[in-house]
Copies of this chain bind each other. A is one copy, B any other.
């Protein structure tokens, strides 16, 4: 199994991890942080799992599909939360999560 066939999914995972970390740190500077606490929490969980999925796919691992299954789920949860907030960083993160969930879903099903 080569990492080439994983390349699109790797790219989405990596972009999503960056968007989540950026969203978390941006939420921390918002006026009403309280309202953002669940968003920050899910950002951190999603970033951790996206990074792991990207690393494992880069290694061409046979466990990639299993990790992508979990990654699709956390991306959906994080994206749903981010979508509730109007800030640019939340909307951008929601979009990155949506695309990553889709790519991971495909990977999880195909493998």
Contact = CB atoms under 8 A, between A and B. Distances in A.
Interface of A: 3, 10, 14, 17-18, 21-22, 24-25, 28-29, 33-34, 37, 40-41, 44-45, 47-49, 51-52, 54-56, 58-63, 66-67, 69-70, 73-74, 77
A72 to B, nearest CB: 11
Q: DSSP class of A's interface residues: helix, strand, loop or mixed?
A: helix
24 contacts: A3-B25, A10-B18, A17-B55, A18-B58, A21-B55, A21-B58, A22-B59, A25-B58, A25-B60, A28-B41, A29-B37, A33-B33, A33-B34, A44-B59, A45-B56, A48-B52, A48-B56, A48-B59, A49-B63, A49-B67, A51-B52, A63-B70, A63-B77, A66-B69
